[in-house]
Chain A
Amino acid sequence: MSSLFEYDKDREAASAAKVRALEALLIKKGVLGSDSVDAVLRHFETVAGPFNGARIVARAWVDAEYKARLLEDTPKAIAELQFPGMTGAEGEHMKAVANSVTVHNLIICTLCSCYPWPVLGLPPYWYKDPVFRSRGVREPRAVLREFGVTISEDKEVKVWDSSAQIRWFVIPERPAHSEHLNEEQLAALVTPEAMMGVALVPSPPPA
């Protein structure tokens, strides 16, 4: 796409200076404190992030009853784990969907970039890019193949477009040959991409 358009050759330096000037002016005018933006960024390093989603998925893998509760009432099941901020911004109404031998789920937001912040953090660039948002609903299997994931035609693909209040995330399938791992080790296998439905969780190295 980018070859279609002419950009300023110092595009990044110009934006960096402009955003710094804007932040400085807003601090001077009392709209922001000099510690406000950093407080936001710290939240996404410590409170909201894919580390939460990975632990939720690992719990669902080791505890079938927990998984059933998670699918039935996602916020209530997440609350059991007592992580902070789980009904916070962009997580006010979350729902989990589970991959299985018969179903593969993919999350998308064709209108903007809705994403379950408390459990997944902030979305990667490609999720917000118009190309994914355009193609993910019409040819999800082709897009998944580009991500290295081939879904056989006898498996149903479900695409979840986040157009109202619900923020979706995916419980991927537990990989084969992972019986020797504990919950924490399982969580370490779960990537944000797997919880968006564009990656599978590969089997761990043998014990």
Chain B
Amino acid sequence: MRLQHYLGGLENLGPVNFFEKKVFMAEWEKRIFGIHTVMMAESVHLDKSLPKYPLSEVPTAFKDTWTWASLRIGAENMQPFEYFKYRYYEKWLMGISQFFIDRGYVTAQELATLTEHYRAHPDSPLPEQPNPALKEQVVRYLHHGDSGLRAPVDQVRFAVGDTVYVADPEAADHTRLPGFLRNKKGTVTEVYPGAFEYFVSTGPDGLDGPQHVYGVSFLASDIWGPDKSEPNTVIYADLFEAYLKPVHSM
């Protein structure tokens, strides 16, 4: 099991660092956020996405799929203490740098050498090489997004008001099932119209192709027990159909 899949409910972590209202804790973090978002905007899957983008008209050397799933898989595969050790965008920087090395876009040596250069000369400029057509695609992507909405391939299995149990699939590299909900009893509160396809297959975890998604409510006391939960508290999660089982199957 992956600790990252079970963050919800972990105890003894101390106070929330709520004084940190800043989005970026250091100026450099803006750049890695921007690089990631450009990668999403030029991901090769966008010529088949909703909406479809004219990617063939966008001049870029990027020839891979890059989505939220790519980043999340990286974070969920980290050594768990390292996951806690590093700040949010530090993890992004590690994961994205390694991706470009692994995929052969840059070599580790090139990156190390140029990093040394910028350590010694922090104000030395970036290369000046604008790409107006790519910039246009970035703006288009930010304005129109990448929806997982698809035509349903089968009938919905659950209706509003149904009692359901959350499945407990085999642990995989990546999941969209919050671990604290596994095996818990909930109530369907919403059946979302259409079906939704996640960016990648999660294998034995259960996401693969378009699925119905349900809003499911859980009493806090049903999740944490009466002594560990707060009164009059309900937790809602949006769950893909693969993560739900009918009550009579238990």
Residues of A within 8 A of B (CB): 1, 4-5, 7, 12-41, 43, 47-48, 84-85, 87-93, 110-113, 121-126, 128-143, 146-147, 153-166, 192-193, 198
Beta-carbon contact of A5 and B20 below 8 Å: no
**Minimal Cβ-Cβ distance residue in B for A114:** B68
Known: A26-B106, A137-B9, A163-B239. A35 touches B233 (CB 8 A): no
Beta-carbon contact of A129 and B88 below 8 Å: yes
A40 and B109 CA atoms in complex are apart in Å by 28
Known: A16-B27, A23-B31, A161-B236. A125 touches B21 (CB 8 A): yes
Beta-carbon contact of A159 and B143 below 8 Å: no
Beta-carbon contact of A129 and B17 below 8 Å: yes
20 CB < 8 A contacts A-B: A1-B13, A18-B115, A24-B127, A25-B105, A25-B111, A29-B61, A31-B100, A32-B35, A33-B129, A33-B130, A33-B135, A34-B127, A34-B129, A85-B144, A89-B40, A134-B7, A134-B10, A137-B235, A138-B224, A198-B18
Contacts of A47 in B (CB 8 A): 142-143
B177 interface contact, C-beta 8 A = yes
Q: Which of A25, A90, A141, A153 contacts B145 (CB 8 A)?
A: A90
B59 interface contact, C-beta 8 A = yes
Q: Which of A28, A125, A142 contacts B88 (CB 8 A)?
A: A125
Minimal beta-carbon separation of A194 from chain B (angstroms): 12
Contacts of B176 in A (CB 8 A): 111, 163-164
Known: A113-B88, A137-B8. A157 touches B22 (CB 8 A): no
Beta-carbon contact of B122 and A16 below 8 Å: yes
Beta-carbon contact of A88 and B38 below 8 Å: no
11 other contacts beyond A14-B115, A85-B143, with CB at 8 A cut-off? A15-B90, A21-B115, A22-B96, A30-B60, A34-B129, A35-B135, A111-B176, A122-B23, A130-B7, A146-B15, A161-B235
Contacts of B250 in A (CB 8 A): none
Q: Which of A15, A27, A193 contacts B21 (CB 8 A)?
A: A193
A143 and B14 CA atoms in complex are apart in Å by 10
Known: A32-B38, A139-B230. A27 touches B118 (CB 8 A): no
Beta-carbon contact of B131 and A20 below 8 Å: no
Known: A110-B178, A153-B231. A134 touches B126 (CB 8 A): no
A27 and B35 CA atoms in complex are apart in Å by 10
Beta-carbon contact of A1 and B84 below 8 Å: yes
Minimal beta-carbon separation of A78 from chain B (angstroms): 13
Known: A17-B115, A198-B18. A5 touches B141 (CB 8 A): no
Beta-carbon contact of A22 and B126 below 8 Å: no
Q: Which of A87, A123, A143, A158 contacts B16 (CB 8 A)?
A: A143
Beta-carbon contact of B236 and A160 below 8 Å: yes
B25 interface contact, C-beta 8 A = yes
Contacts of B130 in A (CB 8 A): 33-35
B56 interface contact, C-beta 8 A = no
Contacts of A111 in B (CB 8 A): 4-5, 7, 72, 175-176, 178
Contacts of A130 in B (CB 8 A): 7, 10, 13, 83-84
| A-contacting residues, B156-184, CB 8 Å | 175-178, 180
| A-contacting residues, B15-48, CB 8 Å | 15-23, 25-28, 30-35, 37-40, 42
A45 and B134 CA atoms in complex are apart in Å by 19
Contacts of B149 in A (CB 8 A): 92-93, 165
A138 and B219 CA atoms in complex are apart in Å by 11
**Minimal Cβ-Cβ distance residue in A for B177:** A163
**Minimal Cβ-Cβ distance residue in B for A20:** B118
A146 and B208 CA atoms in complex are apart in Å by 40
Beta-carbon contact of A30 and B237 below 8 Å: no
